[in-house]
Amino acid sequence: MPSFDYLVIGSGIAGLTFAIKAAEKGTVAVVTKRELAESNTAWAQGGIAAVWSDDDTVESHVADTLEAGAGLCEEDVVRGVCEDGPACVEQLIALGAQFSARDGGSGYDLALEGGHTHRRVLHSADRTGEEISRALIAATRRHSNVHVFENHLAVDLLVDQKFGMARTHPQCWGAYVLDTRSGEVETFTARSTLLATGGTGKVYLYTSNPDVASGDGLAMAYRAGCRASDLEFIQFHPTCLYHPDARTFLITEAARGEGAILRRPDGSAFMLDYDPRADLASRDIVARAIDQEMKRSGWDNVVLDMTGLGADFIRQRFPKISERCASYGLDITQTPIPVVPAAHYMCGGVVTDVHGETAVGRLYAAGEVAMTGMHGANRLASNSLLEGLVFAHRAVEHANMVIADSDGDVPHFPDWTAGDAVDIDESVVIAHNWDEIRRLMWNYVGIVRSDRRLARAAARIAMLRDEIRQYYWDFTLTRDLVELRNLALAAELIIRSARSRRESRGLHFNADCPDRDDENWRRHTAV
């Protein structure tokens, strides 16, 4: 029974930042279901927003975030993150993260993205996530107190009350963890556990997320007794590459910040028809505009025109996008890029306090899996890495205090038992259910929703969850089965949240109640 002071589930910016800081106080296990570098963080192109120039202010960053959040941000949380952000970014730089400098090398090249009124986005060309991930992984590998378990998937959390251990307040002491290579389930115990598992992008048929984003942390926390909130607010990134051979490749919002223009396939620009900020409107507005243009005309896509930026600038500022598009035969210096919206970010999540602690003691959540109050009904571009970074620092400081103030040993938990389960003999059923969930979510719980579509989604997901529940108990665990179980629960929670909100706000648009209702619905939903 592996035992540590801290258990970190996930290996993005939140998880590894927490692990590096926690290792100064005790032993840390980092559990990640594939390799350390496989995370939503590593796929981030745009950058990390922070007040970094004399022309910018915390008040401006707060105001932009509140404006994007459509009335549901918690202002004290937003202000705290914007204030703490620069110092946390400085620590990230001290760990080795390198951001793009201005021409001439005097200071950082700060990008402008949709919804921001100032240039405040630090980036590493268009590979920001890769660079942050590289620096954090290197720092993690250097620390002898950090033990990394790749190809390990957390199955469920160890909550004392669920095992009959009487307490006035439930506490988490680790997790059951599946070694996806051997098939064995181990009991990892810890005095403090952080969920940093990312979001739920794979719930949808089209997503900018990697395959690991299957809602594992949300599902585990919900089963453990945590509250989840605002799950109806799924951000669809407006611009993902549309190509028969491309898969989940994002075209960063920074392209529009630098002057790229969204056009219809006939060449006419259209964003000014929807918002006075045109191509720099917030993501919810841009995604709905593209969706409406495609549905109105029957087009399969719109195009993002970068050709006016100049070939040399495009290749220097967006090398990754240039290279990837070129691999599909697209010269973006000469030809507009075909794009469509795709599921990108979960603005809701597991409810935490200002320290990142959930309703279950010793259990923390940070990054996309958490609902801290930062993003409200629509996340401002490049605030995601910032939130994950700041709350990782807060969570580890609080966890250190809890551990220091507590007495006694970690409770003993029973080993995992598979009972009468047998090996899966029909993997095609899992694959079919996975595909069906993603299609029904895309068709019925997408950018534009309706009461009828949501009702159909709820009925179908209930049937699928019954099938999956039976499979879960009848067969020995595999990564696909554990992920499918989590994916189905995450889908159900998103549907329940969407059905409960009787208005349209931010990222949630219901055609049967299309207006914003501040009198009755300027509040969070909860499941």
The amino acid at residue 414 is P
Q: 479-500 and 451-474 are packed helices; what angle lies between their axes, rounded to 10 degrees? A: 150
Three-state secondary-structure class, residue 342: strand
Q: How far is CA 361 from CA 126, 302, 357, 406, 488, in A?
A: 39, 48, 7, 12, 26
In the chain, what is the straight-line distance between the N-terminal and C-terminal CA atoms, in Å?
33
Strands (DSSP E) found in 87-245: 121-122, 146-149, 152-159, 172-179, 185-195, 228-229, 234-241
Catalytic (active site) residue 283: yes
Q: Any idea what the Cα angle at residue 21 is, between residues 18 and 22, rounded to 5°?
A: 80
* Contact call for residues 49 and 383 (beta carbons, < 8 A): yes
Q: What is the DSSP annotation of 182-230?
A: T--EEEEEEEEEEE-----GGGSSSBSS-TT-S-HHHHHHHHHT--EE-
Looking at 127, 191, 283, 438, which residue is catalytic? 283
For residue 167, give both structure tokens: 């307490």
C-alpha–C-alpha distance, residues 353 and 336, integer Å: 44
In the numeric block, the tokens 């919002």 are attached to 253
For residue 49, give both structure tokens: 């927003």
Q: What is the DSSP annotation of 35-85?
A: -TT-SHHHH--S-EE---STT--HHHHHHHHHHHTTT-S-HHHHHHHHHHH
For residue 233, give both structure tokens: 């607010």
DSSP H or E stretch at residue 9: strand 3-9
Q: Any idea what the Cα angle at residue 369 is, between residues 364 and 373, rounded to 5°?
A: 80
* Contact call for residues 440 and 457 (beta carbons, < 8 A): yes
Three-state secondary-structure class, residue 420: coil
Neighbours of 247 (CB within 10 A): 11
C-alpha–C-alpha distance, residues 434 and 420, integer Å: 25
* Active site amino acids: 283
